[in-house]
């Protein structure tokens, strides 16, 4: 198999591009796609300060690397989620990436600074772990960006992420969510501007980028994400993509071109009800924001090891939840994080 550009030996075949690439030209393709996404969606300009949300996975490290290669002023931020060995390895990958390149990396640890971790939050709230995890990350990244005076937050959402979210929103006709699904989430009303420069790259491509660049990312999946709906949507889309290359790209970008604007009014209405949380000042549509309610509810709970939650599909999980909940403050189960995913 030869590189479509230079006829040298190819290392990867991309059926959706009907092309094969050697290492050099594949890296160029990735940088060109990110450049195109940044330009087409007016994400940010040279000289602006960019905060990259870093997990230690392939997407965020590839994003950080590409933005640096393109000459942008970028700083990283990572959050210790307390998900056992997985979180330790994730943080270690992020720290190693930054130290090897002499880069600034801001670090926050949920347990040290807010008195909880994700397994404990999941046990106390009895909700899927991704709920409190996503909400906590969004809150802390937003806060760090605003406090640090960054112009924009860049996240590693790739084409597969966006297509899977779109599929989920369409399957359940979540029109408000459809109205704010975009590569750029505007700032204002207490939110930082957020952008997704990897939307033109699939996750197979971001993984390949890391392998070729020698970036040591965490390959193992989050133990708490196992079997979640988002992963099932991705697998379904990949099944279609295998039979019809280019489907994921068409699904997402044709939505942006032809349908997204139809749902914008609903998203705008949801934002009208925002007011500052009396506790932390973050925008919320409920009396106190979801993050402050979560901290209030779980910070005194007995820590729940991730292994117990994973094994505990049955009795062990319920015992852990009961034990954790017994030591925590009562609270509600509402989640107002529907405004700015």
Q: Which residues bind other proteins (CB under 8 A)?
A: 1, 10-13, 15, 20, 23, 57-59, 130-131, 133-135, 137, 157, 160-161, 164-165, 202-204, 206-208, 211-212, 214, 219-222, 224-225, 228, 230-231, 234-235, 238-239, 241-242, 341
Strand 105-109 vs strand 152-154: parallel, antiparallel, or unpaired? unpaired
Q: Which two tokens stand for residue 152?
A: 């924009």
Backbone angles phi, psi at 195, to 5 degrees: -135, 160
Cβ density class 46-85: b for 16+ within 10 Å, e for less:
eeeebbbbbbbbbbbbbbbbbbeeeebebbbbbbbbbbbe
CB–CB of 294/116 below 8 Å?
yes
CB atoms under 10 Å from CB of 329, counted, come to 14
Please report how close the Cβ of residue 335 comes to other proteins at its closest, in angstroms: 12
Contact 23, 11 (CB under 8 A): yes
Element (H, E) at 13: strand 12-14
**How far is residue 30 CA from its own chain's centroid?**
19
Rounded distance between C-alpha atoms, residue 337 and residue 341, angstroms: 7
Question: Is 130 or 316 the residue whose CB approaches other proteins more closely?
Answer: 130
Nearest distance from C-beta of residue 134 to other proteins, angstroms: 3
* 164, 255 contact by CB (below 8 A): no
Angle, vertex CA 255, rays to CA 252 and CA 260, nearest 5: 125
Q: Which is nearer to other proteins, 157 or 200 (CB)?
A: 157
| 3-state SS class at 191 | strand
Q: How far is the CB of 32 from other proteins (least distance, A)?
A: 19
Distance CA 194, CA 186 (A): 7
Q: Which of 316, 306, 293 is nearest to 125 (CA)?
A: 293
In the complex, the smallest distance separating the C-beta of residue 326 from other proteins, rounded to whole angstroms, is 26
């Amino acid at each position: 198999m030869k590189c479509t550009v230079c006829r040298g030996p190819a290392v990867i075949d991309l059926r959706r591009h009907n092309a094969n690439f050697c290492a050099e030209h594949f890296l160029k393709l990735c940088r060109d796609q990110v450049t195109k996404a940044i330009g087409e969606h007016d994400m940010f300009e040279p000289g602006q300060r960019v905060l990259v949300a870093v997990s230690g996975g392939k997407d965020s490290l590839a994003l950080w690397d590409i933005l640096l290669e393109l000459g942008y002023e970028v700083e990283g931020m990572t959050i210790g989620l307390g998900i056992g060995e997985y979180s330790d390895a994730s943080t270690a990958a992020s720290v190693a990436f930054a130290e090897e390149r002499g880069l600034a990396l801001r670090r926050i640890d949920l347990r040290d600074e807010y008195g909880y971790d994700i397994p404990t939050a999941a046990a106390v709230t009895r909700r899927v772990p991704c709920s409190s995890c996503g909400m906590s990350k969004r809150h802390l990244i937003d806060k760090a960006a605003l406090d640090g005076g960054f112009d924009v937050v860049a996240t590693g959402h790739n084409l597969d992420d966006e297509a899977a979210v779109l599929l989920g929103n369409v399957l359940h006709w979540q029109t408000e969510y459809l109205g704010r699904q975009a590569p750029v989430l505007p700032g204002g009303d207490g939110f930082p501007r957020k952008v997704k420069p990897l939307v033109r790259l699939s996750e197979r491509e971001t993984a390949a980028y890391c392998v070729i660049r020698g970036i040591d990312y965490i390959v193992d999946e989050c133990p708490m994400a196992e079997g979640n709906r988002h992963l099932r949507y991705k697998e379904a889309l990949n099944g279609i993509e295998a039979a019809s290359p280019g489907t994921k790209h068409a699904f997402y970008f044709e939505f942006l071109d032809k349908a997204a604007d139809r749902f914008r009014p609903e998203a705008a209405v949801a934002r009208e009800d925002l007011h500052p949380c009396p506790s932390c000042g973050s925008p919320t549509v409920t009396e106190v924001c979801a993050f402050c309610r979560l901290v209030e509810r779980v910070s005194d709970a007995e820590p729940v090891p991730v292994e117990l939650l994973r094994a505990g599909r049955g009795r062990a999980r319920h015992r852990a939840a009961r034990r954790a909940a017994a030591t925590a403050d009562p609270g509600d189960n509402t989640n107002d994080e529907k405004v700015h995913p």
